[in-house]
Amino acid sequence: MVKKNKDLVKKLIKISNYYGQRYDLIQAAGGNSSIKFGNKMLIKSSGYSLAELSYENGYSEVDNKILLKYLNSVKDKEIHIKDENRSFNILSESLHSGSNPSIETLAHSILKKYTIHLHPLACNMMSVQASSRELFKKIFKSDISKNNIFYINYKTPGIALAQEIYNILNGKVPRAISCGFILENHGLICTSSSINGLFNFTEYITNKIEKYLKLDFNDYKQTTIISKNLEIIGYKNLSVTLCEDYKINSFLKKNNLSKVKKPLNPDSLLYCGIDILNVNSNIKKNLMNFYKKYNNYPRVIYFKKKIFFVSENILKAKEIEDVFKSHLYLYSQNNVKRALSKENIKRLESYNPQKNRLRFWFDYAGKIKK
């Protein structure tokens, strides 16, 4: 399957990674992404976070025809527990390959080619308000009147939610090029006939709500900027995470970053890399220079007065945060430090048994420039 649908999987990774690293749009293993082709659909598997979806893991292929047929058969039914159980059986029946497809697979089945389900902070801050329906109507008046945005009353995730969306659309795929569904007390689903359309529409909706609620999520959004620039220098689909650790941030307020750059122990080198990139002018230029100097990408980046971690996926970025904090503790006392010598660093970077012992080594050494 991987080989056959390589291009589609590549697109699904691109979509999933775009959203997966944005804390303002999705948290933990929530949300899901999908792409339709013919009567089939690739969709994120249950239990995986968007940012960890890869060629090898995290997605399932399902038969969309089976799902649509089932949705049509229950469109007028009141949903009970036995229907929920039946819907899980239908999901298993529809599965061609991969592990359990996401619980929202049925809701995706009726939508356009590219679909994303998110739990955006701003959207949810508004959708839990008692007067949320009126608020959304006010902000998105024209989009709602043109059927570009729909407001969906709270429904249990799964078949009940899918049924509601199916009925609002009269069982037909939405006409608009991009459209969105605000899910009361839950999140947002956006669907589009193009990937860029999907990106633009989700940002459009969330930006508008953020503006209305006077929220500033710019720090989270910088992860997309850094990620795009890493792509320019040849590193695709890396995850960038904003550091919100209190200890790290208060340490850096009091200390000069340039004085804490050198790795003092093996783990610091392995996890946080040989150097910290301080973006002081143009991020693209700074990243290029870093690559030229070290033939690698930075694991820790200081950008717009914030620390960001770069890794293969968000979980590993969190591991870098852990080690980076310990790295700062090593620098926290005012005395002369013994940095790892060039020879020690060289030895560590080429020490194969060490690579096998540490799971992380594989990524550190094996991340190839694509």
**Is the CB of 113 or the CB of 186 nearer to Zn ion?**
186
Instruction: Identify the burial level of 320 via C-beta atoms within 10 angstroms of its C-beta, where 0-12 means exposed, 13-18 middle and 19 or more buried.
Output: buried
**Is the CB of 181 or the CB of 302 nearer to Zn ion?**
181
Token representation of residue 110:
């009726």
Give the nearest distance from C-beta 161 to Zn ion in angstroms.
9
Which of positions 184-203 make contact with Zn ion (CB under 5 A)? 187
Part of the chain binding Zn ion (CB under 5 A), chosen from 9-17, 181-189, 213-221, 334-342 = 181-189
**Is the CB of 91 or the CB of 300 nearer to Zn ion?**
91
Token representation of residue 326:
């310990």
Part of the chain binding Zn ion (CB under 5 A), chosen from 89-97, 179-187, 216-224, 362-370 = 179-187
Token representation of residue 209:
């709500």
Part of the chain binding Zn ion (CB under 5 A), chosen from 182-190, 247-255, 337-345, 349-357 = 182-190
Determine the length of the chain: 370
**Is the CB of 125 or the CB of 288 nearer to Zn ion?**
125
H helices of 214-313, where? 218-232, 246-254, 266-272, 283-294
Give the nearest distance from C-beta 31 to Zn ion in angstroms.
6
Distance CA 71, CA 79 (A): 12
Distance CA 361, CA 355 (A): 5
- Listed in order, strand segments (DSSP E) in the chain are 32-37, 40-44, 59-63, 95-97, 114-118, 149-152, 178-183, 187-192, 239-242, 277-278, 300-303, 306-311
Give the nearest distance from C-beta 117 to Zn ion in angstroms.
6
Give the nearest distance from C-beta 97 to Zn ion in angstroms.
24
Give the nearest distance from C-beta 145 to Zn ion in angstroms.
26
Q: What DSSP designation does 45 have? A: B
**Is the CB of 187 or the CB of 197 nearer to Zn ion?**
187
Q: What DSSP designation does 52 have? A: G
Which contiguous run of DSSP H or E holds residue 211?
Answer: helix 195-213
* # residues near Zn ion by CB under 5 A: 1
Token representation of residue 205:
């909706």
Cβ-proximal residue to Zn ion, closest one: 187
Give the nearest distance from C-beta 30 to Zn ion in angstroms.
5
**Is the CB of 174 or the CB of 187 nearer to Zn ion?**
187
Give the nearest distance from C-beta 119 to Zn ion in angstroms.
6
Distance CA 198, CA 35 (A): 12
Which of positions 242-281 make contact with Zn ion (CB under 5 A)? none
**Is the CB of 116 or the CB of 323 nearer to Zn ion?**
116
Binding residues (CB under 5 A) for Zn ion: these are: 187
